[in-house]
Amino acid sequence: MQKLWFATRKRAWLSLAVVPATPGFSAAPLAQALAQAGESHVERVHLLDAEGADMCAASRMVEEMRSQVGHGHCVIVAVDSLLQNAAGIPLLLAADACLLGVQLGQSRFSHVERTLERVDASRFVGVVTFPLPGKASDPL
């Protein structure tokens, strides 16, 4: 996770949205692990879990994200796949950068393509791949 933290930091950001390409795949474990890795390098990393949020909750979370950034904290927010829940779109648009999670053997290229089209591919700092369910290897 330390390597991933530094890889994402090649582009300056104070808020990072983590989004899975595949509906039903959770970005929360990745966001949490990344926040823990980042806490040893910055004073405070605030984690927001927006999975399952509706548009009203997403709007409140955008304000929370901005407030935390205004206080000098880094913020990492986990959202649902945009193909599953469009409420993540405002969070991705409000974040300084985005990170895409792809589950090997489950994510289709069309999932990735449609996700990138909904937000703008230039907002993404990278893609993290995860092994097939049941495999014990670390994310790449």
Q: Which of 18, 7, 4 is nearest to 99 (CA)?
A: 18
Assign 130 a pLDDT band (cuts: 50, 70, 90): confident
Q: What's the pLDDT score for residue 65?
A: 96
Backbone angles phi, psi at 97, to 5 degrees: -155, 165
pLDDT in tens, 47-94: 999 999 999 999 999 999 999 999 989 999 999 999 999 999 999 999
Q: How far is CA 58 from the centre of its chain?
A: 14
pLDDT in tens, 1-33: 889 999 999 999 999 999 999 898 899 999 999
Q: What's the pLDDT score for residue 43?
A: 67
**Is residue 133 over pLDDT 70?**
no
Assign 113 a pLDDT band (cuts: 50, 70, 90): confident
Per DSSP (E only), the strands in 25-68 are: 45-49
Look up the pTM and report it: 0.88
**Is residue 140 over pLDDT 50?**
no
Higher confidence at residue 135 or residue 52?
52
Tokens 């390098």 correspond to what residue? Answer: 41
Domains and CATH numbers, the chain: 2-130 (3.40.50.300)
Tokens 């582009």 correspond to what residue? Answer: 11
